[in-house]
């Protein structure tokens, strides 16, 4: 049924809309000529022809209007030229009228059903009915079911069922990404929204420059031996005991030039040969080797300590 009629800027009606509201299933309009009764019937018959007029139907369901007015008479009634006063309205058989009545009853039943469905879907105020409420509840149930593992992805929509429902509808309409399994989403969520990553200290750079310098020291390429032009040099070279003899020299000097190994006295010539063999160059090279060994051990120990700290 019609709930309200708005008419403006047509016939006797001004540009300010006139509202005919509070209508019931049966309504009677009466008035003198030129007050707008026919205009109202024309708007009901075909509101699309009147841009500034509007007919509001109950439940948003528009019925087929059937208006009997002067326009209807002119279009449908024909007066016979031969028989004055006799009017015809086409061929109307009894069974056709019965079918029309039956169809009207079915139409009325469908109209009532449609109004009920609209009410269920949209609600009385158009803000959402039972179906929408049920959909919102289902969305919220799924959100709560997976909230523990996917809450990071729900951020911004976790405290409002209405916002969460709207987000679901938005993603359904615009998101064309490939659907992924729940297991994959849970693993990804745990990785992305899990515990904050820890900041580790930068691994110290091991500086082995000094060790490499020690290993390329020129002294390592030099053969350190005593003077070859002294008489004792032939024996020392033959026996290959230069280090052994060098280590025994302090004992020889402390023992009043008596050999510490054989306990035999020696003459000044032997003492001079021994001193000449281990000359200043030999001593300097020997000290350089001893110093290199000490420095290498020290720097190697420092590098090992750095490696231990990293591990």
Of the two residues 101 and 208, the one the predictor is more confident about is 208
Instruction: List, for residues 277-286, the tens digit of each pLDDT value.
Output: 666 677 777 7
**Is residue 246's pLDDT more than 50?**
yes
Q: Does residue 280 lie in a domain region?
A: yes
What mean pLDDT do residues 227-246 have? Answer: 64
pTM of the model: 0.32
What pLDDT shows up at residue 286?
79
What mean pLDDT do residues 4-8 have? Answer: 93
Q: Are residues 222 and 172 in the same domain?
A: no
Among 88, 113, 144, give the residue marking a domain's end: 88
Q: Does residue 204 lie in a domain region?
A: no
- For residues 68 and 16, what is the distance between their CA atoms, to the nearest angstrom? 27
Q: Are residues 178 and 227 in the same domain?
A: no
Q: Does residue 144 lie in a domain region?
A: yes
What pLDDT shows up at residue 142?
85
What pLDDT shows up at residue 227?
58
Q: What is the tally of structural domains in the chain?
A: 3
Instruction: List, for residues 289-306, the tens digit of each pLDDT value.
Output: 889 889 999 999 988 888
Q: Are residues 235 and 154 in the same domain?
A: no
By C-alpha distance, which of 290, 300, 294, 295 is closest to 219? 290
What pLDDT shows up at residue 94?
46
Q: Does residue 162 lie in a domain region?
A: yes
Q: Are residues 213 and 289 in the same domain?
A: yes
Q: Are residues 59 and 6 in the same domain?
A: yes
Among 36, 61, 88, give the residue marking a domain's end: 88
Of the two residues 70 and 231, the one the predictor is more confident about is 70
Measure the CA dihedral 167/173/177/179, to 10°: 80
How far is CA 128 from its chain centroid?
31
What pLDDT shows up at residue 91?
43
**CA angle, residues 39, 42, 43, in degrees to nearest 5:** 90
Q: Does residue 150 lie in a domain region?
A: yes
CB half-sphere exposure, 227, CA atoms < 13 A:
14
What mean pLDDT do residues 242-265 have? Answer: 71
**Is residue 117's pLDDT more than 80?**
no
The residue count of the chain comes to: 311
Q: Does residue 109 lie in a domain region?
A: no
Q: Are residues 84 and 29 in the same domain?
A: yes
Which residues have C-beta within 8 Å of that of residue 153, sequence separation ≥ 6? 185, 189, 193
Q: Does residue 202 lie in a domain region?
A: no
Q: Are 251 and 262 in contact (CB under 8 A)?
A: no
Q: Are residues 182 and 266 in the same domain?
A: no
Highest-pLDDT range among 168-177, 222-231, 261-270: 168-177
Q: Does residue 82 lie in a domain region?
A: yes
Among 88, 122, 146, give the residue marking a domain's end: 88
Mean pLDDT, the chain, whole residue set: 79
By C-alpha distance, which of 227, 261, 222, 257 is closest to 242? 227
By C-alpha distance, which of 143, 161, 138, 163 is closest to 153? 143
Q: Are residues 217 and 279 in the same domain?
A: yes
Q: Which domain holds residue 273?
A: 209-310
What mean pLDDT do residues 147-162 have? Answer: 83
């Amino acid at each position: 049924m019609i709930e309200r009629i708005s008419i403006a800027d047509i016939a006797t009606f001004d540009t300010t809309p006139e509202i005919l509201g509070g209508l019931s299933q049966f309504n009677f309009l009466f008035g003198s000529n030129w007050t707008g009764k026919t205009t109202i019937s024309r708007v009901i018959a075909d509101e699309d022809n009147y841009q500034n007029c509007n007919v509001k139907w109950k439940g948003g369901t528009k019925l087929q209007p059937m208006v009997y007015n002067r326009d209807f008479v002119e279009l449908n009634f024909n007066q016979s030229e031969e028989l004055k006063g006799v009017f015809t309205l086409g061929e109307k058989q009894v069974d056709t009228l019965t079918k029309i009545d039956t169809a009207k009853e079915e139409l009325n039943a469908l109209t009532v059903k449609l109004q009920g469905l609209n009410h269920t879907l949209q609600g009385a105020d158009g803000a959402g009915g039972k179906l929408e409420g049920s959909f919102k509840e289902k969305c919220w149930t799924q959100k709560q079911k997976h909230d523990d593992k996917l809450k990071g992805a729900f951020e911004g929509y976790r405290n409002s069922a209405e916002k969460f429902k709207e987000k679901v509808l938005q993603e359904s309409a615009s998101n064309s990404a490939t659907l992924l399994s729940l297991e994959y989403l849970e693993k990804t969520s745990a990785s992305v929204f899990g515990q904050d990553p820890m900041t580790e200290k930068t691994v110290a750079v091991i500086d082995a420059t000094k060790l490499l310098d020690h290993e390329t020291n020129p002294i390592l390429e030099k053969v350190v031996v005593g003077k070859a032009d002294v008489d004792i040099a032939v024996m020392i070279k033959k026996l290959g005991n230069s280090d052994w003899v060098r280590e025994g020299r302090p004992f020889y000097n402390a023992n009043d030039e008596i050999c510490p190994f054989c306990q035999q006295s020696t003459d000044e010539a032997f003492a001079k040969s021994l001193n000449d063999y281990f000359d200043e160059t030999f001593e300097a090279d020997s000290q350089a080797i001893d110093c290199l060994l000490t420095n290498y051990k020290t720097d190697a120990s420092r590098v090992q300590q750095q490696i231990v700290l990293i591990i």
